[in-house]
A and B are shown apart, each in its own frame.
Chain A
Amino acid sequence: MTDAAVQAAPGNSATAQPETMQWDSRARRVVMLWIPLLCFLLILLFPFYWMTVTAFKPNAELYDFRTHNPFWISSPTLDHIYKLLFETSYPRWLKTTMLVAVCSTVLSLVASTLAAYSIQRLRFKGSQYVGLAIYLAYLVPPSIQFIPLATMVHQLGLFDTPFALILTYPTFLIPFCTWLLIGYFKSIPYELEECALIDGATRLQILRRITLPLAVPGLISAGIFSFTLSWNEFIYALAFIQSSESKTVPVAILTELVTGDVYQWGALMAGSLLGSLPVAIFYSFFVDYYVSSLTGAVKE
């Protein structure tokens, strides 16, 4: 709120009601704010609701919408979860996915931070174009890249190992993270670094002690982005991993739970639900940082 607004607001005390503009009637608020928000929430949350309901529904209810309410469960069952956890290698797939997602996220963050800092702060000749080129690399679709990347993965002897994914995911993670961090570093006042330079700090010291602590929301934002993309990635995981035991969750549940044209919907949805939990938990811890990095950055 600006100073002018504070002065204009009547009864500026702890007990004052939230300010209401002339045009801001209750009906208008409902139409303009709450109804769109509700629609938005419905659209976003419905797939999760459907996933959850399907994961706990017995097959008889799943396939007969005439007798059973499709949006509710009459007699919930844990059969699908049991099948997933004890009759497939789901825990192992989860472990592999976690390993790949964490390693590629860390790798991407380190590389992006260095790239973004150098492009934004060192301002070497052509740095702007380098920044643009890195971002353009993000626009190349993975479906075009997977065959040339497969050749390299094979030549490096990484085929069918988690390293194939850990080293290829950064090809699409680094460009976006770098672009995001360039924007974030731009919002950190350069004067802070100038002071440090005058005091004799090196560039690496400045990065470690001044810029990075201020850029934590940006780093978290880039981290969440990288982790989510790595967790859900499909095409590279499909192309570079062939052994059943080294697969990641998105590919493995399809292989194990779709047999021909028979889809085991209950177990599939249970797999998707359990697979989306780590991302949701990870996100919930850092949501404030994430929002602040996307909206406000560092206030000058």
Chain B
Amino acid sequence: MLTTRRNAIGLSAAAMAAMTAAEQAQAQAQAITAADAPAPRLPIESGATLRMLRPVRFVQPDEDVFRANCARFTQQTGVQVRVDFVGWEDITQQTAVTANTGAGPDMIIGFNESPHVYVDKLVELTDVAEYLGRRYGGWLALAQRYGKRHGTNNWIGLPFGSSGGPLVYRKSAVNAAGYERPPEDHAGYLDLLRKLKSANKPAGFALGNAVGDGNGFANWVIWSHNGFLVNEDGSVGINSRETIEALNYLKEMYATFIPGTLSWGDVSNNRAYASNECWLTANGVSLYFALKNDPATRAIAEDTEHMLLPKGKASFSPMAGLTLNAMVFKHSRYPNAAKALLQFLLEREQYDPWLNANLGYWAHPLENYGASGVWSSDPKVAVFRDTMKSPFWIGYKGPISEASAAATAEYVMVQMCAAVASGQSTPEQAAREAERRAQRFFRRR
């Protein structure tokens, strides 16, 4: 190709832009405070190669930066790293196969409680976790909950980030209903929903078997009334006065919803919100960015605001983010190399650019990353910053275990709520049935 003067100017501008972006990312990373802490001694095995499986990207830069970080690890250590991306719904099966056959990748970044299900097959990560905690101001509450084995200080997973599902609403509609923002108390919140319904701008929350949105909403309904699935000791506690009260509240709420929420999956509220059918829902930041990036829906994005889920009777917004949780398998021939890679990826030079690339979809697990530039890049994203400070987790408030994972996978809470909303059961019947189902999981383990 003949290089004209205009081309040359264009090329050098592009190169400069790329350099500037890389330099900017590095400069931003330096803004993250890091204490001097002795790194664990991890002599990398000779001839080590690594294979990792992780959930598919949210946006393309997520994958690009993640791969670039792994390539940098290869450059520095000579360890070849291969990363494969798997659909979100499919990573659980892949993890089950890997754990049960003792074959496949050396490490998997799974979701939430995965390491607790396969704890016997995993390498302990306490040394790396303690080092990172000391260096970056400590692990946040949700990270500690998902990372440590229950009742111990032994780390079996390294949380990489968490995606919250706060309220997403149309500011114009909420303002027109007479509220500056959705109220934190149950009565005020219900009043807003009723006003939105009468203005033909209804709210909608998933009541179908939706992994993220369905569980998120059902948990909010119960937790915001101080109810819970299991007690601290792991005994089932769902059939309580608080749960009945929550389900009665849900009945009133459901009457204000857009029709069809009983069959909503994770994607349904995105579509309804993007097509002006639903004006208030709960979702991750993906919905906002999908709206913002499409010229046809940019106006909706401009009118969109986020807010943590109303507290109700709880002292903290009841929300447990979907958490990325990395684990290293005992079948790996190179456990030190695997641990070194995870540690490398969570160091500020790698982690902060990755956090920025995700535009706020994943919130950091380590305190000092709260100063990351991503949280000031767009004021509408700032609400996601403290996702991992939440004192709630899936299976609250019992120990995270195979039983709590099974109860979530069987949608015990979601189906209890759906049974009441649809009129199929009274709140009392639904709570009893949920108790019976939950006892099947928690009794036998």
Contact = CB atoms under 8 A, between A and B. Distances in A.
Interface of A: 59-60, 63-66, 146-147, 150-151, 153-154, 159-160, 235, 238-240, 242-244, 251, 254-256, 258-263
B267 interface: yes
Given A150-B103, A243-B84, A251-B90, A66 B275 contact: yes
B112 interface: no
B94 A239 contact: yes
Main secondary structure of the interface of A (DSSP, over half): helix
Top-4 shortest CB links A-B: A154-B103, A60-B296, A261-B266, A255-B87
Nearest to B294: A59
Contact of A154 (B96, B101, B163, B286): B101
B110 to A, nearest CB: 13
A165 to B, nearest CB: 14
28 contacts: A63-B271, A65-B275, A66-B276, A147-B97, A159-B101, A160-B104, A238-B94, A239-B93, A239-B94, A242-B104, A242-B105, A243-B84, A244-B85, A254-B87, A255-B56, A255-B85, A256-B56, A258-B87, A259-B286, A261-B212, A261-B213, A261-B267, A261-B286, A261-B287, A262-B58, A262-B267, A262-B286, A263-B267
A255 B86 contact: yes
Contacts of A238: 90, 93-94
Nearest to A159: B103
Interface in B46-77: 53, 56-59
Contacts of B274: 63-64
Range of interface residues on B (Cβ < 8 Å): 35 or more
A79 to B, nearest CB: 12
Contact of A59 (B93, B287, B296): B296
A203 B96 CA distance: 47
Nearest to B88: A260
Nearest to A160: B104
Contacts of A63: 271, 274-275, 296-297
Nearest to A264: B290
B237 interface: no
Given A65-B275, A242-B104, A258 B56 contact: yes
Given A259-B59, A261-B266, A242 B94 contact: yes
B286 A260 contact: yes
Interface in B124-145: none
Contacts of B294: 59-60
A239 B275 contact: no
Contacts, number: 98
A254 B276 CA distance: 27
Contact of A242 (B86, B96, B100): B86
Nearest to B297: A63
B284 interface: yes
Interface in B297-313: 297
Given A235-B93, A255-B85, 19 more contacts: A59-B294, A63-B275, A63-B296, A64-B274, A147-B100, A147-B101, A151-B103, A154-B101, A154-B104, A159-B101, A160-B104, A242-B104, A242-B105, A243-B84, A259-B57, A260-B56, A260-B88, A261-B270, A261-B286
B101 to A, nearest CB: 5
Contacts of B86: 242, 255
A63 B39 CA distance: 51
Interface string B206-235: 000000110000000000000000000000
B239 interface: no
Contacts of A150: 97, 100-101, 103
Contacts of B103: 150-151, 154, 159
B329 interface: no
A60 B88 CA distance: 26
A59 to B, nearest CB: 6
Nearest to A143: B93
Nearest to B213: A261
Contact of B88 (A66, A146, A239, A258): A258
A18 to B, nearest CB: 46
Nearest to B269: A261
B283 to A, nearest CB: 7
B155 interface: no
Interface string B402-430: 00000000000000000000000000000
A239 B271 CA distance: 30
A262 B270 contact: yes
A243 to B, nearest CB: 6
A169 B97 CA distance: 17
A260 B284 contact: yes
A66 to B, nearest CB: 7
A248 to B, nearest CB: 13
B361 interface: yes
B90 A255 contact: yes
Contacts of A260: 56, 58, 88, 163, 284, 286, 361
Contact of B84 (A244, A256, A258, A259): A244
Nearest to B276: A66
Nearest to B268: A261
Contacts of B290: 262
A147 B96 contact: yes
A261 B101 CA distance: 30
Interface string B255-271: 00000000000110011
Contacts of A153: 101
A104 B328 CA distance: 34
Nearest to B53: A242
A299 to B, nearest CB: 48
Contacts of B213: 261
A50 to B, nearest CB: 15
B97 A146 contact: yes
A164 to B, nearest CB: 11
Contacts of A244: 84-85
B283 A261 contact: yes
A205 B183 CA distance: 83
A256 B87 CA distance: 8
